[in-house]
Structure 1
Amino acid sequence: MGTKFRSFLNVFLLSIVVAGVLVACSNNDENKENTSSNDEKQAIEMGQINWAENIAVTNMWKVILEEEGYDVNLNVLDIGTQMAALENDELDISPEIWLPVQDASYLEQYKDKVNFSEATWYDNAKVGLVVPSYMEDINSIEDLHDHVDLFEGVITGFDPGAGTMEVTEDLIEEYDLPFELLPSSEPAMLTEISEAMKEEKPIVAPLWSPHRIFSELDLKYLDDPKEVYGGVEKIHHATRLDFADDHPELATWFDNWNMDDDQIGSLMVEVSEAEDPLDGARKWVEENENVINEWLEK
């Protein structure tokens, strides 16, 4: 009897161990599935344009969201490509849409395919042609008619396809300017402006506020009596159509996002002065915790 009891006991204990191992494996598999699901939910694809303020705010949001447990990928794409990517669910959010004028064509084209936010994160934006302040005789777009040779008939532009570039083409036609708009990139345009001003040469280019260059160089906007560029622009964000359903928390945070001149200016300075834009953004986030908590409703 003793031997049989010991055999029964060994079998019983072994069955408990096996059952425990099976339960543990089942839990591990379930945890892996949940982890995988959470990781998938936390991956956010954000568009980035190679503009100073866009680099600043996209890196800022990357810092904020990754501190909240999300994995943020920044995709460098022009605005037209971002709109198509939002429509195709390849991108989650495009954080910089200028309305009512600059990006009106994209709003019209994608209004039923992309969600354009009613909320704005900057309410005092401005766009226009600028010249160095030392060009005292040129204060209006209409003055350009009398100085075509001075500028060699060229308006120095930036990214082709940008809303402001499209509006500038409309402006050339509206004012009947004998000028050619030469596209390049924002960094190239800023370099040309800076190099021209070192030698006090003439240059005219489309620019916008907020922008760090106005704190570095003495530039002035030309009057736009026909208001082709519009008046005050507001900056919105856009998302793929199902973004708010998939990420209601994030949708609320982005709707709460709002910055004043000092905040966006200081962020751009931190980012531009850092070797890595992410480090500059991280420093700004650490110094503006109260502002960010308001966006995140903490």
Structure 2
Amino acid sequence: MNKRNKELSIMLVLLMLALLTACGSTSGETSNEQTGAESGVNEEVITIGQINWAENIAVTNMWKALLEDKGYNVEFSILSMGAMMQALETGDLDVSLEIWLPVQDANYFETYKDTVNFSESTWFDNAKVGLVVPTYVEEVNSVEDLNEHKELFDGEIVGFDPGAGTMDVTEQLIQDYDLDFELTPSSEPAMLSEIQRSVENEKPIVAPLWSPHSVFSKYDLKFLEDPQSTYGGIEKIHHGTRHGFEEDYPKVNDWFKNWKMDDQQIGQLIDYVESASDPLEGAKKWIDENQALVNEWVK
């Protein structure tokens, strides 16, 4: 082989190596979703924020069951609402499944609208928030009646998690109506226990609550009228994701947008999850009985 032919051969080999390297780089530039769940060997973890609220525990377990059935790895991160929004902003959390708008979580939307993806799609369109009392408290039917009957409630509104959007709105309500009441923070389970004890003893109690919630199927409670609409009217429940989630998991992102539930469906899911010894098993039971519906979400 003469020198010129040898040089050409070397150049051809180098060119082939460059092409192979380029092809390898291109094929490697796929999303976590393409290289993971679709092949059934996904080592990436989708982290979903969970708050200790009945409907939140229900839907987070439902989505864990659905996504793991599709080959994804899912973990929960137990957080307060404020910490959850911060984690979405920093990218330490992938998804929050429960954001109430336009009123309850408006403060979080205004703070994080540029750094967190708030989905325009909603999964529940008939939510309601307000102060509730047992129906046997006949003297009180409006927020405006509370000061007149302050002694019935010892001047206390029994609240839940500090930092929750509804707690912030309730503080605003106290100012709007000039209520001589104190909002006492605790947790949702503690608040529900107080409601249970009060109802069992037919004692007055006032607390901020929301629908959908399983408590309304257990006790006869009524929402107080809110003439100033501090709590707003009908609320819609959205989900939020970290920036970049849509690119990393386009299919899952679309599935969340397809998700839609009504009062009966979310009520039954909550009941199944709360009745089961393992919330995930309760969610799986609900999925089995509503396969046609969930197939519309994850199509």
Length-normalised TM-score, structure 1: 0.87
Of 58, 67, 71, 1:56 maps to: 58
**Other-structure match for 1:139:** 141
Shift of 1:47: 0.2
Q: Residues of 2 paired with 1:295 and 1:279: CA distance?
A: 20
Q: Residues of 2 paired with 1:188 and 1:137: CA distance?
A: 25
**Other-structure match for 1:23:** none
Length-normalised TM-score, structure 2: 0.86
Shift of 1:41: 6.2
**Other-structure match for 2:75:** 73
Q: Give 2:292's aligned amino acid.
A: N
Q: Residues of 1 paired with 2:162 and 2:82: CA distance?
A: 10
Using the TM superposition, name which of 39-48 and 216-225 deviates more.
39-48
Q: Residues of 2 paired with 1:253 and 1:231: CA distance?
A: 28
**Structure 1 position 127 matched with structure 2 position 100:** no
**Other-structure match for 1:6:** none
Q: Give 2:70's aligned amino acid.
A: E
Shift of 1:180: 0.3
CA shift digits 1:5-33 (9 cap, x unpaired): xxxxxxxxxxxxxxxxxxxxxxxxx9xxx
CA RMSD, Structure 1 to Structure 2 (Å): 1.5
CA shift digits 1:30-80 (9 cap, x unpaired): 9xxx9xx63566410000000000000000000000000001001110111
Q: Give 2:205's aligned amino acid.
A: I
Shift of 1:260: 0.7
Superposition pairs for residues 1-298 of structure 1, below 5 Å? 38=36, 42-297=44-299
Is the CA contact 1:48–1:76 (under 8 Å) kept in the aligned structure 2?
yes
SS of structure 2 residue aligned to 1:171: helix
Could you say which structure has the larger radius of gyration? 1
Is the CA contact 2:104–2:166 (under 8 Å) kept in the aligned structure 1?
yes
SS of structure 1 residue aligned to 2:127: strand
Is the CA contact 1:42–1:69 (under 8 Å) kept in the aligned structure 2?
no
Q: Give 2:257's aligned amino acid.
A: D
Q: Residues of 2 paired with 1:269 and 1:40: CA distance?
A: 32
**Other-structure match for 1:24:** none
CA shift digits 1:242-287 (9 cap, x unpaired): 1101110011000000001111011011001011111100100111
CA shift digits 1:108-162 (9 cap, x unpaired): 0000000000000000000000000001110000000101111111000000000
Task: Give 5+ residue unaligned stretches, structure 1.
Answer: 1-29
Q: Residues of 1 paired with 2:275 and 2:298: CA distance?
A: 27
Task: Give 5+ residue unaligned stretches, structure 2.
Answer: 1-27
**Other-structure match for 2:15:** none
Aligned length: 264
